Amino acid sequence: MTNALAVATEAVESSNMPKREKSAMLRFLEGKMSPRFSAGLGRAKAHVGAGGTALMSAAVSGLTGAGLGYAHGTLKEGLDLPMGSQHVPLDGLVAAVGLGGFVLMPSEDFSSTLCRAGATAFGVLGFRKTHDWAEKRAQRSGTAGAGTSTAAVHGEDPVRAVGEMLGLKRR
């Protein structure tokens, strides 16, 4: 910081500002370049770094979720891919690759990105499988929970019925 203070001080002293403004500017610079101010900049740097990490996490998580959502909406079997007589969850595969890649290559630049994507996919898998279990349970008992599709319990989705009534078709 002392080099920055010296450069700033020299720039102010060599400027053609009136003496009164130069003096005020120099006092301001000396106060802002003090060790106490430098410590404050260190704390600010930590907050900026944390903000960048949060933004990166949100971006990776959002893109992973969007990719899985797109696959779920466009693949015939949704996220459960048919492999012979079994179905393999695509979100489970993404989770295994992401988390496994993080464990196998922890020092690579992209390893934290793999970990975030894997953790997000694992969260999607957990949500989806728990939802499926709860929905089947509600079907057996004849009651629908707040997050259960009304079509699964009562046979017709009222939102789809209104859309069809308005002439909207599912793509």
The model's pLDDT over 54-78, given as tens digits with 9 standing for 90+, comes to: 999 999 999 999 999 999 999 998 9
Which is it for the CA torsion 28, 32, 35, 40, positive or negative? positive
**Percent of the chain whose predicted confidence (pLDDT) is above 70:** 81
The whole-number average pLDDT for the span 139-166 is 67
Which is more confidently placed, 115 or 145?
115
The whole-number average pLDDT for the span 130-138 is 89
Domain ranges of the chain: 1-40, 76-143
CA distance 58 to 56: 5
Half-sphere exposure of 33 (CA within 13 A, CB side): 15
Exposed / middle / buried, residue 61 (Cβ in 10 Å: 0-12, 13-18, 19+): middle
Read off φ and ψ for residue 88, nearest 5 degrees: -110, 125
Per DSSP, the three-state class of 2 is helix
Tell me the one-letter amino acid at 133: W
The model's pLDDT over 85-101, given as tens digits with 9 standing for 90+, comes to: 999 999 999 999 999 99
Q: What is the pLDDT of residue 170?
A: 63
